[in-house]
Amino acid sequence: MSRGVLAVDRVVAFLLGLALLLGGLAAIAWWAQKLYLVWPAVPPVLRLLALRAAVEAGWWAPTSGVVGVIAIVLGLWWLIAHLPRRGVGTLALPGAGGRGGLRLDPDAAVAAAADVLAQAPGVRSASGSMRDDRGELVALIDATIEPTADLGAVAAAAERVSAELGHVLSLPAARCRVELSVARRGRQLARAG
């Protein structure tokens, strides 16, 4: 979700909350017959004849249809704007120059780093992908380790892989996160007959 969408969300939520708060306070004050203190022209009884006449007017149906279509379009835009876009496309490498520009597929680089981590002793499997997490690039590597793995050795391997990945990406805004999970059972080794 972009910062613009977040800003629109906050403004709309503030205005809607303010309108609901003021409407609720006005309804309570009108019910308690104290609304005239702030609005002297308030009628003591609501008459809905004007509303009924407006609903029966010829312009009401087309206007309601147009407003409904606009509300549907805005609602769909709002929903689409809130879909999580976690993936990252190709990235321009720094120092690539203005003409030919070198580009990098970050998912392939992170997958290769995960493959390197998977070769470390005690690591059963690893996978990785590049994510856009609130405007920050995060290389996420998920690794499953054996229950008997040396956690210090696995942590050192993860640090080494993270540093190498940072060197390959050469992006100061990129971060690397390695998440380790422990396998429930150790691997069964085949017995020699």
pLDDT in tens, 37-84: 888 888 777 777 777 888 888 998 899 999 999 999 998 988 888 876
Domain locations in the chain as residue ranges = 3-81, 91-182
82 vs 99, residue with greater confidence:
82
Which is it for strands 123-133 and 136-145: parallel, antiparallel or unpaired? antiparallel
CA distance 123 to 66: 60
Mean residue pLDDT of the chain comes to 83
Report the DSSP beta bridge partners of residue 182.
145
CB 159 within 8 A of CB 167: no
Q: Is the pLDDT of residue 134 over 80?
A: no
The model carries a pTM of: 0.50
H helices of the chain, in order, are 3-31, 49-56, 60-81, 106-118, 151-169
pLDDT at 86: 61
What share of the chain in percent tops pLDDT 90? 34
- Whether the CB-CB separation of 154 and 123 falls below 8 Å is answered with yes
Cα–Cα dist 178/186, whole Å: 21
The answer to whether residues 122 and 160 touch, using CB atoms and an 8 Å cutoff, is no
Distance CA 143, CA 140 (A): 10
Query: For 2-43, how does the pLDDT look when each residue is reduced to its tens digit (9 = 90+)?
Result: 677 788 888 998 999 999 999 999 889 888 888 888 888 887
**What whole-number percentage of the chain has pLDDT above 70?**
85
Q: How many residues does the chain have?
A: 193
CATH class held by domain 91-182? alpha beta
